[in-house]
Amino acid sequence: MAAPFNPPTNFSEKPEVPQWQPPPAPTEDLDYAKLRSIDLSLLDSPDPKVRDQLVETAKIAIRDDGFLYLVNYGINLEQLHRQFSIAQYLHRNITEEDKDRLHWDPQGGLYAGYKPPFGWRTVKGKYDGITQFNFYEEEYKSLDKIPNCVHPFMDEITAFTEYLTQSVNKRLLRLLSLVLEMPEDYLWDNVESKGSTPINEGYLRHALFHPFKNEEKGMGEGLRMFGHTDFGTTTLLFSIPVTCLQLWGRDGIWRYVKYSPGALVVNIGDTLELVSGGHFRATRHRVHNPPPSQETYERLSIVLFNGSKGDLRMQPCWDSPLIKREGCFESQGAYKEFKVLQDKGIPIPTNKEWREISIINTRHPTDEPEKILKEVEVSGVKYIEVINQGVRVLQPL
């Protein structure tokens, strides 16, 4: 049985942190994706039938949607809201000096540090209303790498990150290994990165989407982030009331992800699509402006992007009985495009190369038109086409 999260509670020794208040849910009748819910505590059930049903539910969820809700994973709502309060405190109290000192450099292949609300390049671009602080390995190693205002809370951020990576994600990968019909620790031992910090080769993001003013609402034609897939193993996004996240269904329709208090919204990254031979779906998703009833609210977000071992060139797990029995699925995005290179005898990128080029070539709705690259049409659907190290990436508009 997995132990619940037990964070530091020495709050009296720290600056007072105003409590984050979740905004109200939207009042509109939105078109929501029908995502399945996984109760992670059932992985420890002594009843084989319960575990078998859990594995089957996970198999369907990641094959059909690539997204799922994760519940009963060990962090309660009070503990989660404390982390949101800290994230809110960071955005409200980071100094101009720290913004400059810790300014990010995505053109170097990492999102580490502070993102100002002016696009997704190292140099200042158009206003996009999105600020972030991204914690990579170096941010956990040295207080010099983080804003001074969160120094007193780094023990809590570290404990939170460690629980997510070492407990929640490890259990989730156990479940996904069972879907592949492999030993429980297969993905954790052979694919997931591990190191001296809680984050390893992934990163934790505190993001704040500022509400647009009336004259800004038409920017990007309503999009805050283009459709994309994540490049790692799993992404753990805490469900929030301001409803902006949309996922791309197999029917070519964008649907909202509904708020589920306390739940983790989990999506599969490119790495797991590759290792599963397309059985796991890295689903395209995007961030849209919120519906009218929420357009005046800030959208505060906490996301953990779990990373794979950087030196690996991902191949399907050919030892998987599932893959041996059913083969691979080339209809998927990353797996299909990587296979094109392999069939030509061209080496595929390592995981490190793939995530770095994906960051460098990130496209955003506020980019200048010549930077967005070309649009293509596939089966009547318009996409942005990006070539990353010879791999064709299609991002639906």
pLDDT tens-place string over residues 129-169: 999 999 999 999 999 999 999 999 999 999 999 999 999 99
Could you tell me which residues come within 8 angstroms of residue 41 by beta carbon, excluding any fewer than 6 positions away? 2, 72, 73
220 vs 178, more confident: 178
376 vs 331, more confident: 376
20 within 8 A of 81, measured Cβ to Cβ: yes
224 within 8 A of 128, measured Cβ to Cβ: yes
Report the 10 Å Cβ neighbour count for 390: 15
**pLDDT tens track for 206-230:** 999 999 876 566 566 788 998 899 9
Q: What pLDDT score was predicted for residue 214?
A: 67
Type of residue numbered 86: I
CA 241 to chain centre: 17
Nearest to 247 by CA among 31, 56, 29: 31
Q: What pLDDT score was predicted for residue 309?
A: 96
Could you tell me which residues come within 8 angstroms of residue 381 by beta carbon, excluding any fewer than 6 positions away? 252, 396
Confidence of residue 261 (pLDDT cuts 50, 70, 90): very high
d(CA 27, CA 25): 7
Helix, coil or strand: residue 89: helix
Partners of residue 132 on adjacent β-strands = 115, 207
Q: What pLDDT score was predicted for residue 8?
A: 95
Domain 37-396: give its CATH superfamily.
Answer: B-lactam Antibiotic, Isopenicillin N Synthase; Chain (2.60.120.330)
> What's the whole-number mean pLDDT along residues 59-87?
96
Helix axes 170-179, 48-64, angle to 10 degrees: 90
CA distance readout (Å), 43 to 62, 73, 184, 186, 211: 17, 10, 11, 16, 40
Nearest to 157 by CA among 204, 110, 103, 104: 204
* 233: DSSP letter: S
Confidence of residue 372 (pLDDT cuts 50, 70, 90): low
> What's the whole-number mean pLDDT along residues 93-107?
97
Could you tell me which residues come within 8 angstroms of residue 152 by beta carbon, excluding any fewer than 6 positions away? 13, 14, 15
- Which helix (H) or strand (E) segment holds residue 205: the answer is strand 203-209
Give me 193's structure tokens: 């990165």
185 within 8 A of 331, measured Cβ to Cβ: no
pLDDT of 369 > 70? The answer is: no
Q: What pLDDT score was predicted for residue 110?
A: 96
> What's the whole-number mean pLDDT along residues 257-283?
95
Confidence of residue 330 (pLDDT cuts 50, 70, 90): confident
pLDDT of 370 > 60? The answer is: no
* 267: DSSP letter: E
User: Mean of the per-residue pLDDT values for the chain?
Assistant: 93
Nearest to 62 by CA among 296, 242, 266, 215: 266
pLDDT over 70, % of the chain:
96
